Amino acid sequence: MRILIEGGRVIDPANTVDDVLDVLIEDGRIAAVGPSRSARDAAPPDRVLDARGKVVCPGFVDLHVHLREPGREDKETIATGTRAAARGGFTTVCCMPNTSPVNDNQSVTEFILDRARREGSVNVFPVGAITKGQQGAELAEIGELVRAGCVAISDDGKPVMNAEIMRRALEYAGMFGVPVIQHAEDLHLTGTGVMHEGLVSTELGMRGIPAASEAVIVARDLLLTELTGGRYHVAHITTAEALRLVRDGKAKGLKVTCEVCPHHFALTDEAVRTFSTNAKMSPPLRSARHVEAIKAGLRDGTIDAIATDHAPHTIQEKEQEFDYAPNGIIGLETAFGLTITVLVEGEVLSLSQAIARLTCEPARVFNLPKGTLAVGADADVTIVDPTREWVVDVKRFASKSRNSPFHGWKMRGEVLATIVGGKVVWELEG
């Protein structure tokens, strides 16, 4: 199957490409990337995609999604979650292990991979648990998890609170070359907090989670990373203090990386004033000071990747009193729009830098052979229009869930088509 993507502006930061070029796909791989018309002359393609005036880039890589299967298929399945990914321009997702049962053994890993092969629209790489049952007490069979296909380990949803366990996880995972991802918060400092501790929580009388809750764990873990020489990745970083620590850690040569979620650069804790539970997530939306630090961190490269932490929840669970609603929002289908609208239009990142944070940088963090349009690479390609305006309508989402605070938002930057392994898995109508 030959597909020619013709006349688009190809932005491929992995190979420092930013030019109007044709991309030829053959048998699921990138066959050629060259000046217009050169590829077409060789042999007639089965399909031509007219990308003139559009941007062609590697398919996006999301290091952090919750596909909810096995266990909570009412919120999302591998089938619906990967369709949502495709709609959002993501061709690779890494799914977190806080399923039911937890992905702390090869059987669950194999189940996920099997489901993904049969029903998934995009590449799925599972993240295995650090500890058995994510209970934080004993290491999971990390060797088996990696052998079965896990690309990283995490107890996400929860932090590893025990420093000794964290130390051993960094050492042990080091044997298999996979990073340890930490959901960084100190549960004691968090307590029963439901939002960021700041002026807004003081006015609303809601229990706050101080920025220190994230920072103290990152500080501790960086010392452990230094001790062990392990690879450490901070999930969904949100605070100026944690960013400062990561910046210093990188300067010292520690193997530390981090990701940020679009909602943490698009919203502040002011969003909680309406008491909408779509403003409730963990870690919480922070104050403007931290959002500024996040933007600075994206600009100076302290933040490696943009990841969604796509967290589907049923309508009835989110329709509860704020304290009782589960944490999290969906994000696969708004990530690109938010990245363009807030970061590129907001002059925090250039278009090319933004695409890097969605493609080659996340791929590098987990050592995935993705996020590139090099000849021979898997034909995972996304075609976008970064100038097109659209209005978010959650009712049209492919995700099973609807918990997004961005419903009704005017966005700039729309995904037009998503190709995975040389197959067009999604196209925008018209």
Catalytic machinery residues: 309
Main-chain phi, psi angles of 346, to 5 degrees? -85, 5
307 binds another protein (CB under 8 A): no
321 binds another protein (CB under 8 A): yes
322 binds another protein (CB under 8 A): yes
190 binds another protein (CB under 8 A): no
390 binds another protein (CB under 8 A): no
Q: Are 311 and 327 in contact (CB under 8 A)?
A: yes
Helix (H) or strand (E) holding 413: strand 410-420
Tokens, residue 400: 């099973």
Q: Which runs of E-coded beta strand occur in 27-106?
A: 29-34, 47-50, 55-58, 60-65, 90-95
199 binds another protein (CB under 8 A): yes
- The single residue listed with the structure tokens 């491929």 is 12
The residues in 347-386 that bind another protein, with binding defined as CB under 8 A, are: none
Shortest separation between residue 275's beta carbon and another protein, angstroms: 3
Taking CB under 8 A as the binding criterion, the range among 82-90, 198-206, 216-224, 409-417 that sits at the site for another protein is 198-206
Q: How many residues bind another protein (CB under 8 A)?
A: 19
Pick from 23, 112, 148, 206 the residue near another protein by CB under 8 A.
206
Measured CA to CA, the distance from residue 170 to residue 179 in angstroms comes to 8
Pick from 320, 346, 391, 410 the residue near another protein by CB under 8 A.
320
Main-chain phi, psi angles of 28, to 5 degrees? 80, 5
187 binds another protein (CB under 8 A): no
Pick from 50, 300, 319, 393 the residue near another protein by CB under 8 A.
319
Pick from 46, 114, 323, 389 the residue near another protein by CB under 8 A.
323
Binding mask of the shown chain, residues 269 to 298, with x at each position contacting another protein by CB under 8 A: ------x-----------------------
241 binds another protein (CB under 8 A): no
Shortest separation between residue 34's beta carbon and another protein, angstroms: 57
DSSP string for 202-264:
HHHTPPEE-HHHHHHHHHHHHHHHHHHT--EEESS---HHHHHHHHHHHHTT--EEEEE-HHH
Pick from 46, 187, 227, 324 the residue near another protein by CB under 8 A.
324
Residue 52, helix vs strand vs coil: coil
429 binds another protein (CB under 8 A): no
Measured CA to CA, the distance from residue 230 to residue 225 in angstroms comes to 5
270: DSSP letter: G
Smallest CA-to-CA distance from 306 within 351, 336, 267, 342 is with 336
405 binds another protein (CB under 8 A): no
Measured CA to CA, the distance from residue 190 to residue 216 in angstroms comes to 11
Shortest separation between residue 186's beta carbon and another protein, angstroms: 14
Taking CB under 8 A as the binding criterion, the range among 111-119, 158-166, 200-208, 402-410 that sits at the site for another protein is 200-208
176 binds another protein (CB under 8 A): no
Q: Which runs of E-coded beta strand occur in 29-75?
A: 29-34, 47-50, 55-58, 60-65
Measured CA to CA, the distance from residue 195 to residue 269 in angstroms comes to 7
Shortest separation between residue 327's beta carbon and another protein, angstroms: 15
Pick from 20, 32, 204, 219 the residue near another protein by CB under 8 A.
204
Instruction: Name the site residues for another protein (rule: CB under 8 A).
Output: 191, 197-199, 201-207, 275, 316, 319-324
